[in-house]
Amino acid sequence: MFGHFAYAQEASDDDIVQLTGITITADSLRVVPGTTVSVKNKFRGVISSDLGVFSIVCLKGDTLEFTCVGFRPKTYVVPRRIKGQFFSMIQLMVQDTFYLPETIVRPLPMKDEFDYAFKNWRIPDDQYELARKNTDALTLRALVYVLPKDGRENQAAYQSGLARDAVYYGQTRPSNLFNPLAWAEFFDAWKRGDYRKKNGQSLSQY
């Protein structure tokens, strides 16, 4: 509400324009979806739809910036001589060219040399090897016990508690005192020694 009030104060009604347009490629005239259309030096913008269509409210004389992955950034200055508060446009986007560094792949000359290299070469850890080690099942299982919960897990636990409280809202929660499954689990834990003291202290989870 405050943003709309401040926006109306900084410009008159005649300067405000509703700009609607479409983003397409310059060579083949295909739509460019997901293009970010923002007003320069202002914290306002929109993203074009799957059909490349966008609509944004701006001022006459504002500069619009068009950015999309794989295309060169474009700018467009809204004309000040527009009559009325509605304007349509077509923005052409030019594909950007990326030059990758040269890579030379050389095969091993003989099968014996390949066997020797496969058995004896010690290739240093690179990013792929580090990623493989970090996603190892045992490593992930160990991290579960030592790392604290992140924001998503805390939110999920909090919402799960709210849902559980809502189920028994206004009534008494059920008790497991006469639950045979709970008693069976208690006896199994007793036999395993889960309730024994560890390092002079009782286990906190019990």
Domain that holds residue 30: 2-93
Domain count within the chain: 1
Q: Would 108 be classed as within a structural domain?
A: no
State the pLDDT at residue 52.
92
State the pLDDT at residue 63.
94
Q: Of all residues in the chain, what percent are helix, strand and coil, respectively (each to 5)?
A: 35, 20, 45
Q: Would 107 be classed as within a structural domain?
A: no
* Euclidean distance between CA atoms 187 and 206, whole angstroms: 13
Q: Would 78 be classed as within a structural domain?
A: yes
The pTM for the full model equals: 0.44
Q: In tens digits, what is the pLDDT along the chain, a chain of 206 residues? A: 334 444 444 567 788 999 999 999 998 899 999 999 999 988 889 999 999 999 999 999 999 999 998 899 999 999 988 888 899 999 999 998 878 888 888 776 777 887 888 788 877 677 777 888 888 888 888 888 888 888 888 888 888 888 888 887 778 777 777 778 888 888 888 888 777 755 455 444 44
Q: Would 138 be classed as within a structural domain?
A: no
Q: Would 188 be classed as within a structural domain?
A: no
Q: Is 200 left (phi over 0), alpha (psi -120 to 50) or beta?
A: left
Q: Would 145 be classed as within a structural domain?
A: no
CATH at 63: 2.60.40.1120
Q: Would 45 be classed as within a structural domain?
A: yes
State the pLDDT at residue 1.
38
Q: Would 77 be classed as within a structural domain?
A: yes
